[in-house]
Structure formats: C-alpha cells, structure tokens
Structure 1
Amino acid sequence: MGFILRWLAALGLIAATYNPTPWNYTAWVDRTWPDQMPLAVLLGLLLFVGYVIYLRATLRSIGPFGMGLVIAVFAALIWVLVDFGLIRLDNPGANTWLAIFALSLVLGIGLSWSLVRRKLSGQADVDDVDE
C-alpha cells in the first residue's frame, strides 16, 4: 500500500503540473498570469518543492541508470502492447497520459526503492536513521 500511495502522489504531482486537459498548472498560469501572478508563483514553488523531494530521493535510491532502466522497461511494455494491437499511439492526449504514467512510475519506484531493498536484503541504507 505504501508504494501505491507514493506512486499516486507522484502521478498527482506530474498531472497537476501538466496534462492534456485544461485542468493543470501550466494551462492555468497561461490563462491567468497577469491577474494571479502571486498565487501562480506560490503554487509553482510548491510544485517545485514536490519535484525536489521526489527527484532527490529517486536519484539517491536508483540513480540515473535506474531511472533509465525503469523508462526502458515501460517503453518495452508499450512496444509490446502496440505490437499486439492492444493500444494505438495515434492519439496525442493518450500519449501524454502514457508519458505522465511512465514518469510517475519512475518517481514512485525511486521514492520506494530503499524500502523495497531493505525488505528484500535485510540491510539498511547507510543514511537510514533508527526507526
């Protein structure tokens, strides 16, 4: 359940920043920038803090190679699904949602990986504090 919550939070963070609907931060800022500049800056900084937390944890736990590996596995899965005719890539909105989903998986796995590694190996990370 912990991984699902971390992944859903990552999905929410990325989808709140940008998605193909008009309900996202970038579209809202584009529409309301002159009138809502202070609120837009505040919300942008809050999103930035979320990205810093997720990216820092992901880079520390799986690193750039692990991030690339997760993306490669997801890309291969999409390739297989396209090859079997289960999905099509001619819809730009669906492609955007696939990218959002893939990036949220990378961040969710990155935030959860230390916990998974500790449960699998029984070894704590060096920077773990007693719990």
Structure 2
Amino acid sequence: MAASGLSWKGFLIRWLAAAVLVFATFNPFGLSYFHWVSAFGEAEGSGDIPLKILIGLLLVAGFGIYFRATWLSLGPMGIALIVAVFAVFIWLLVDYRMLDVETPWVLAFLIQIVLSIVMAVGMSWSHVQRRLSGQVDVDDIEP
C-alpha cells in the first residue's frame, strides 16, 4: 500500500520535476528548448523538426498537468498570495543589497525559480491541506 501524505522528499521530487520543466523550456544560460527552436535558420538548428514538435508537445503537456493541478488546488487567490510572498522576499533581498537584479539573467533565473516553486506547491497542496485540516480535496467528475 502506498504511503499517504507528503514528505519533504515528495515535495522535493515535485519541485525538481517542475524546475526541470521550467528550465528545459527556457533558461537564461542558452541551453533550452526555446534556444534550440529559435536556432531554426542556423545550420545546426534547421533539422529535426518532428523531434522539436514532439518535445514541444511534451513540454506543453507537462505544463498543462502542473498548471491544472496548481489552479485546482490553490486557486487564483492562493497563487497570487504565494507569488506576492516571493516577490516581497526578493524585494527585501534587493533592498538589503543581498541580490543584484540589474543583471538580466539574475531576474529571469529568480522568476523561473518562483514559478517552479509555485507549481510544486500547487502539486503538493492537497496533501498539506489534508494533513493540516483532515479534509480531503475531491474533483467534481460529473458536469
């Protein structure tokens, strides 16, 4: 029987999967699906169109799974609250000069980290809510 609930290991796996999805799609370091597809006119990027489409569809499916779970478990207010907490935390770090956002890749990296954390929290929230309140989330199956 599978263990019910959520452990730190379970959350870490969800976050790592979300981070791989986000950073594989685009990252400021130039090694991403976006950079691979945008090199379409170059000699090394002009081939493999079916492979590019297949990987693009897999990324869209991954984002669809994460976004749907996040939207259903947190809702718009929960998502806005988590984003606001991280935005104020980044603001605090910038205000105390612990973080330099003048460099464009730093800001892009932070946005991607926050996006992956929001997606991981969305995938994990039902477990956390069940542990805190004892209530179980159930999706409506009938229209």
Fold agreement, TM-score > 0.5: yes
Is 1:101 the counterpart of 2:113? The answer is yes
Q: Which residues of structure 2 form unaligned runs of 5+?
A: 1-8
1:68 deviates by 1.1
Task: State the distance in 2 between where 1:101 and 1:86 align.
Answer: 17
For this pair of structures, how many residues does the alignment match?
128
Q: In structure 2, give the amino acid aligned to 1:84.
A: Y
Q: Any stretches of 5+ residues in structure 1 without a counterpart?
A: none
Q: Give the C-alpha shift of residue 34 in structure 1.
A: 3.6
TM-score scaled by structure 2? 0.85
Equivalent position of 2:60 in the other structure: 48
- Of the three residues 22, 32, 47, the one matched with 1:35 is 47
The aligned residue for residue 87 of structure 1 is: 99
Q: Which has the higher helix share?
A: 1
Percent identity over paired residues:
48
Report the aligned-residue RMSD: 1.4
Could you state the TM-score of these two structures normalised by the residue count of structure 1? 0.93
Which whole-Å CA distance do the structure 2 matches of 1:5 and 1:123 have between them? 24
Stretches (4+) displaced over 6 A: none
Give the corresponding residue for 2:31: 23
Q: Secondary structure at the match of 2:39?
A: helix
